[in-house]
A and B are shown apart, each in its own frame.
Chain A
């Protein structure tokens, strides 16, 4: 059972927009920065969003992040088949004194 809760799966068609939620508590999301990662099995996890809403160099602006209270959201617009992957949110938990990840959300682009 992950400290951060994500929907197991989401799906959408090419060109559409999708959002992935990440729910936590005041000990983690409510008081710390959130980051988001894209992970394809057999590859290296890739940082998409850091510090809630900032994009690393090279990440297109189709990807966005936001945070409100104890929840965070990853948004992906203009969906492409190449966006199919597992997406994870991550942050720090002040109660555990440890890093935490969500359980992951599998994005299917139909």
Chain B
């Protein structure tokens, strides 16, 4: 059964860099039928798609975050990473990783999510 698990520091200082990892088990991220996406939900707000990556490192990103976000795939360790620079309070959110079907663009399954707090 495919499972995704996010991990990373729960607390990041303003202006610093956020780094999260999504470990995938039960299937290989090298399956060309899927991208691996990051999605977040700020407190009290809706879902925001951050970006995705496939096993060949082809990546798409939300234009509103593009200059601050790097998403990469590590096929050796079957995991996906998210790096976001210059974080502010607006980046405080629950961050999810999810499998995204290529061309059909549905997301399933999702990881449990990890809360990131931005505070000094």
Interface residues of A (CB under 8 A from B): 2, 32-33, 35, 37, 39, 44-47, 50-51, 56, 86, 88, 90-92, 96-104
Query: Given contacts A99-B37, A99-B52, is CB(A2)–CB(B46) below 8 Å?
Result: yes
A residues less than 8 Å from B60 (CB atoms) = 97-99
Contact (Cβ within 8 A) A98 B63? yes
Whether B95 is near chain A, meaning CB under 8 Å from some CB there, is no
Interface residues of B (CB under 8 A from A): 37, 39, 46-49, 51-52, 60-63, 96, 98, 100-101, 104-113
B residues less than 8 Å from A96 (CB atoms) = 62-63
With A and B bound together, what is the CA distance between A46 and B98 in angstroms? Answer: 11
Known: A45-B98, A50-B108. 19 other contacts (CB 8 A): A33-B104, A35-B104, A35-B107, A37-B107, A44-B96, A45-B47, A50-B106, A88-B46, A88-B47, A90-B47, A90-B105, A90-B107, A91-B105, A92-B105, A97-B60, A97-B63, A98-B51, A99-B49, A103-B46
